Amino acid sequence: MTDINNNQENVSPEMRKPRRPSRENVETETQKTEGETQVSENTGERKPRRPSRESVTNNDTSQTQSTRSSRRSSSSRPPRKPKKNQIPIGIAVLLGMIIFTIYLSITVSGHLALFFVVGSAFGMILQRARFCFTASMRDPYLTGSTSVTRAALIAFAITSIGFTAIKYGYFRAGLPIPGMGFVAPISVATAVGAIIFGIGMVIAGGCASGTLMRVGEGFHMNMLVFFFFMVGSLWGAYDFGFWKRNFMLAGPSVFLPDLFGWAGGLLVNLLIIAILYVLADKWEKRKNANSH
Amino acid sequence: MSKEVMLDCLGEACPVPLVKAEGAIKDLEVGDVLVVQIDHSCAVKNVPEWARKEGHFVDIEEVDDGEWEIIIEKAK
Amino acid sequence: MEFFNKLRENDLYNKWFRAPYSYVTGAVLLSLFQIVMLSATGSPWGVSATFANWGAWLYQMVGGSVEKWYYFSGPGAPGSMSALEAGFMSNAGTMLNLGVIFGALLSTLLASQFKIKKIKNKRQIVAAVLGGTMMGYGARIAYGCNIGALFGGISSLSLSGWVFAIFMFVGAVIGSKLLVNYFM
Q: Which domains does chain B have, with CATH numbers?
A: 4-73 (3.30.110.40)
Q: Are residues A151 and A142 in contact, defined by beta-carbon separation less than 8 angstroms?
A: no
Going residue by residue through chain A, which has 292 residues, state the pLDDT in tens, using 9 for 90 and above.
434 444 443 333 333 333 333 444 433 333 333 333 333 333 333 333 543 333 333 333 333 333 333 333 334 444 455 667 899 999 999 999 999 999 999 999 999 999 999 999 999 999 999 998 999 999 999 888 899 999 999 999 999 999 999 999 999 999 999 999 999 999 999 999 999 999 999 999 888 999 999 999 999 999 999 999 999 999 999 999 999 999 888 899 999 999 999 999 999 999 999 999 999 999 998 887 776 5
Shared-domain flag, residues A264 and A244: no
Percent of chain A residues topping a pLDDT of 70:
71
The residue that leads in pLDDT, B9 or C35, is: C35
Shared-domain flag, residues A220 and A272: no
Measure the CA–CA gap between A60 and A79, rounded to whole angstroms.
25
In a domain, A153, yes or no: yes
Tally Cβ neighbours within 10 Å of residue A191: 20
Shared-domain flag, residues A238 and A263: no
Shared-domain flag, residues A222 and A114: no
Q: Among A184, A254, A272, whose Cβ lies nearest the Cβ of C149?
A: A184
What value does the mean pLDDT of chain A take? Answer: 78
Residue B17: closest CA among chain C residues belongs to which residue? C184
Contact across the interface for C113 and B15, Cβ inside 8 Å: no
In a domain, A292, yes or no: yes
In a domain, A71, yes or no: no
Contact across the interface for C35 and A166, Cβ inside 8 Å: yes
Q: What confidence score (pLDDT) does residue A80 get? A: 55
A132 SS3 class: coil
In a domain, A39, yes or no: no
| Residues of B designated catalytic | 14
Question: The whole model's pTM is what?
Answer: 0.84
pLDDT single digits (tens) A147-195: 999 999 999 999 999 999 999 999 999 999 999 999 999 999 999 999 9
Provide the residue range defining the domain that includes A214.
184-196+210-251
Q: Over 60: is that where the pLDDT of C31 sits?
A: yes
Shared-domain flag, residues A189 and A282: no
Identify all chain B residues contacting C120, using CB atoms and an 8 Å cutoff.
Answer: 10-12
Shared-domain flag, residues A247 and A188: yes
Shared-domain flag, residues A116 and A219: no
Mean pLDDT of C35-62: 94
In a domain, A205, yes or no: no
Total domains in chain A come to: 3
In a domain, A44, yes or no: no
Shared-domain flag, residues A279 and A261: yes
Shared-domain flag, residues A159 and A247: no
C108-147 burial: b if 16+ Cβ within 10 Å, else e: bbbbbbbbebebbeeebeebbbbbbbbbbbbbbbbbbbbb
Apex A16 CA angle, A14 and A22, nearest 5: 140
Of A111, A266, A23, nearest to C92 by C-alpha is: A111
Q: What DSSP state is assigned to residue A149?
A: H
| Cβ of residue B16 closer than 8 Å to a chain C Cβ | yes
Shared-domain flag, residues A156 and A174: yes
pLDDT single digits (tens) A190-231: 999 999 999 999 999 888 999 999 999 999 999 999 999 999
In a domain, A33, yes or no: no
Shared-domain flag, residues A174 and A261: yes
In a domain, A110, yes or no: yes
Shared-domain flag, residues A97 and A147: no
